[in-house]
């Protein structure tokens, strides 16, 4: 008798997320068996491997990701989006833009969480950024490693010149102070703005 797997076990075996299996069950792509209490169970020996593989491949897409840290930078966000749209269109890619408003140290942004879910769900074929730090200030390499593991191509439009250690450190310090100052005083308070301006001046 074949052993039935839980939805979590089946998701791990198939390389998709639990939410994907729930959606496939509801739409009839891959219907689960049900226990008397209504829990989903899967017999992988009865699943055509080409079914799930082809379904995943059809869903893979190009995502262009843009981010700024504050409302004051909204014009920069629009410029990023325009640059991403022009670049992706010039390459002939069918794409979708995800944008975020929040610090590069914030890992709970709605757009970023959606991006990571789609990468884990094998829905993304290509990730396009204007600059590396638009993804995250710290931890971008972990996301890039995840992309490599899921065979997601990462395209960074503006590689730019490599910053010196001092320049990178100055940018990191400014980002950290900006985040904690906003939490302490409020992102739009006069104290916050004065502190950030003072830090910028000292770093220059």
Residue 69 a catalytic site member: yes
d(CA 55, CA 61): 12
Q: Are the CB atoms for 56 and 89 separated by under 8 Å?
A: no
- Check 6, 17, 19, 69 and give the catalytic one: 69
- Rounded to whole angstroms, the Cα distance separating 46 from 7 reads 15
Count of beta carbons in the 10 Å neighbourhood of residue 26: 10
Torsion sign over Cα 50, 53, 56, 61: negative
Contacts of 102 (CB under 8 A, 6+ apart): 67, 69, 109
Q: How many CB atoms lie within 10 A of CB 178?
A: 21
Looking up tokens 């059809």 gives 58
What is the SS3 assignment for 56? helix
The catalytic site residues sit at 69
């Amino acid at each position: 008798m074949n052993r039935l797997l839980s939805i979590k076990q089946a998701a791990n075996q198939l390389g998709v997320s639990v939410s994907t299996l729930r959606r496939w069950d509801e739409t009839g792509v891959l219907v689960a068996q049900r226990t008397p209490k209504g829990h989903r169970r899967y017999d992988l020996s009865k699943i055509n491997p080409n079914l799930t593989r082809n379904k995943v491949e059809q869903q893979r897409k190009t995502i262009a990701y843009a981010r700024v840290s504050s409302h004051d930078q909204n014009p920069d966000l629009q410029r990023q989006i325009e640059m991403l749209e022009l670049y992706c269109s010039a390459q002939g890619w069918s794409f979708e833009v995800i944008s975020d408003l929040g610090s590069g140290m914030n890992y709970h942004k709605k757009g970023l969480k959606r991006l990571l879910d789609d990468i884990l769900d094998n829905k993304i074929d290509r990730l396009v950024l204007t600059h590396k730090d638009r993804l995250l200030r710290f931890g971008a390499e972990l996301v890039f490693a995840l992309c490599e593991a899921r065979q997601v191509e990462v395209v960074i439009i503006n590689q730019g010149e490599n910053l010196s250690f001092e320049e990178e450190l100055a940018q990191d310090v400014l980002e950290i102070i900006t985040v904690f100052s906003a939490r302490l005083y409020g992102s739009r308070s006069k104290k916050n703005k004065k502190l950030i301006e003072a830090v910028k001046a000292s770093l220059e």
